[in-house]
Every structure is written in C-alpha cells, then in structure tokens.
C-alpha cells in the first residue's frame, strides 16, 4: 500500500499561471481533503469530498477548485495563481464513518511557490 | 463555531526532561473527537491519538500520555523523558459529528541533546 500520494512534490509558478495538484489514495477511503499549511496557522481546510462525484468548500476555498471523478483521486486546481497561495499543500483521506471518529491519513505534501 | 487553541508556539527542553503541550478547544457539540498529530522535520503528519468526548480516561502509551478534561475543555499531551527524536511540530485537532477537522496552530517542540 502506498497510502496517500501527492504529485508533484515541489512546484514554482508565476503569478497568473494555473496548475493542478493530484492526490491519490489506495485505501478505498470515502473522504478526501485538501489543506494548506502556513507558518503559525496550522492546517486550514480548502475543500473536501465525502464521496466520488461530491465536493464541498472548507474554510479557505477562494481561488481553488476541486474534482473527485474517481474515488481514489482528488484534484486541486489553481486557476490563476497568486503569491498568497504560496504554501505547503496536504491531501488527506479517511474511511469516513460520518461520526468524525476516523483519523486522517496524510500525503507527504506539495510545496508550492508563486512568484 | 469550533476552535482549537495551542497557546505555546514553541517549546525548548533538554533531553530527558518532561514536557506538556497544551490544547484547549471550543465546541457547542456534545459529541466530538479530539486528535493529536505529530509533524517531524521530514514534513509528514503522523496520527498519535484519538479521544471521544464521552471518554475522559487518561491514556498512556510508552512515554506519551494524554490528559482529557471536559470541565476545562483541554486535551493536553505530555512527553516523559523527552528524546531528540521527539522534536517536531505537534497539532491538536477537533472533529465533531461530521467531516471537518479543525486544527490548532501547532506547537514546535525542540528537544536539545
């Protein structure tokens, strides 16, 4: 089992460019999440999905879009990158009992710099 | 609204000292779950423990122990006889009866040899 993988690991963009981050999990988890981690702010939820074909906004969704066309994949898109989106992005998945008791399994992170 | 506060931004201790990381949470729900995660310098996030709101028993796992007190809305984490390998950022998180985790800002622990 690879667990949760993220592609790419590092990326540098220029302001206004677009890109897609890919998250894949092989644990057959229902729920998937995208977070960003900034110094002193912990992890903030961008978007999440409770199943294939469904997505929902988290705490900081502006400037991002997501898609969950396949259960194992969760894509995060930046349509027009801004320097404020410079961050480390983490994907996570969980079995999703609906009770909130499942821990999340995290990917290794993607370090994105927007110049 | 849910909130998790970790008032200690950074802590430095010398190896073999005991250290407690504080976590205070806010929620209006009666059913919720609390978590601790560790983020070592390599960057990955590692699950440490889960506790539900109906179980106030303290837990010990080796050198790690957790003290959950609903009366003070706290879920503190103690490392006994700290080691250099314990150096990491530690996050406390809260999840209610739903899908969303709320993470605290983290406490950076440095254990000096």
Q: How far apart are CA A51 and CA A39, in angstroms?
A: 30
Looking at the partner chain, which of B47, B52, B97 has a beta carbon nearest the beta carbon of A103?
Answer: B47
Q: Which of A27-41, B64-78, B85-99 has the lowest mean pLDDT?
A: B85-99
For residue A61, give every residue at least 6 positions away whose Cβ sits within 8 Å of its Cβ, in sequence order, or none. Answer: A46, A47
Q: Per-residue pLDDT for B90 more than 90? A: yes
Q: How far apart are CA A66 and CA A20, in angstroms?
A: 9
**Which residue do the tokens 């677009």 mark?**
A18
For residue B85, give every residue at least 6 positions away whose Cβ sits within 8 Å of its Cβ, in sequence order, or none. Answer: B111
Q: Work out the pLDDT band at B52, boundaries 50, 70, 90.
A: confident
Q: What's chain B's length in residues?
A: 113
For chain B, where are the alpha helices, taking DSSP H only? none
Mean pLDDT by 10 residues, chain A (115 residues): 92 96 95 92 91 92 96 96 97 79 89 97
Nearest residue of chain A to residue B33 (CA atoms): A101
**Stretch B77-98: mean pLDDT, rounded?**
92
Beta-carbon separation of B45 and A103 below 8 A: no
**Minimal CA separation from A66 to chain B, in Å:** 16
Per-residue CA distances from B56 to A97, B22, B63, B67, B71 (Å) = 22, 16, 19, 8, 10
Q: Residue B82 — φ and ψ, nearest 5°? A: -55, 150
Beta-carbon separation of A88 and B95 below 8 A: no
Q: What's residue A22's pLDDT?
A: 97
Q: What is the DSSP letter of A104?
A: P
Q: What's residue B59's pLDDT?
A: 85
Beta-carbon separation of B101 and A41 below 8 A: no
The pair of structure tokens assigned to B5 is 């506060």
Residues B6-38: pLDDT tens digits? 999 999 999 999 999 999 999 988 888 999 999
Q: What's residue B30's pLDDT?
A: 86
Average model confidence (pLDDT) across chain B: 92
Do residues B7 and B104 make contact, with C-beta atoms less than 8 angstroms apart? no
Beta-carbon separation of B103 and A31 below 8 A: no
Q: What's residue B97's pLDDT?
A: 64
Q: How far apart are CA A58 and CA B103, in angstroms?
A: 13
Nearest residue of chain A to residue B107 (CA atoms): A40
Partner A contacted by B95 (CB < 8 A):
yes
Q: How far apart are CA A6 and CA A22, in angstroms?
A: 6
Partner A contacted by B8 (CB < 8 A):
no
Chain centroid offset of residue A55 CA: 12
Q: What's residue A98's pLDDT?
A: 63
Looking at the partner chain, which of A35, A90, A99 has a beta carbon nearest the beta carbon of B97?
Answer: A99
Partner A contacted by B35 (CB < 8 A):
yes
């Amino acid at each position: 089992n690879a667990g949760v993988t993220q592609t790419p690991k590092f990326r540098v963009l220029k302001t206004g460019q677009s890109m897609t981050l890919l998250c894949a999990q092989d644990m057959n988890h229902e729920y998937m999440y995208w977070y960003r981690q900034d110094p002193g702010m912990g992890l903030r939820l961008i978007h999440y999905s409770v199943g294939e074909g469904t997505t929902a906004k988290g705490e900081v969704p502006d400037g991002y879009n997501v898609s969950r066309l396949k259960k194992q994949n969760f894509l995060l898109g930046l349509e027009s990158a801004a320097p404020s989106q410079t961050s480390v992005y983490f994907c996570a998945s969980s079995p999703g009992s609906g009770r909130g008791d499942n821990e999340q399994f995290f990917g290794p992170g993607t370090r994105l710099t927007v110049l | 609204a849910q909130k998790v506060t970790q008032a200690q931004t950074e802590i430095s201790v010398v190896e073999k000292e005991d250290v407690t990381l504080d976590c205070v949470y806010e929620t209006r729900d009666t059913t919720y779950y609390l978590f601790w995660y560790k983020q070592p310098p390599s960057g990955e996030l590692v699950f440490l423990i889960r506790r539900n709101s109906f179980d106030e028993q303290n837990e010990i796992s080796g050198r790690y122990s957790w003290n959950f007190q609903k009366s003070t809305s706290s879920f503190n984490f103690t490392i006994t006889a700290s080691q250099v390998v314990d150096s990491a950022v530690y996050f406390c998180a809260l999840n209610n009866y739903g899908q969303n985790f709320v993470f605290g800002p983290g406490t950076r622990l440095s254990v000096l040899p």
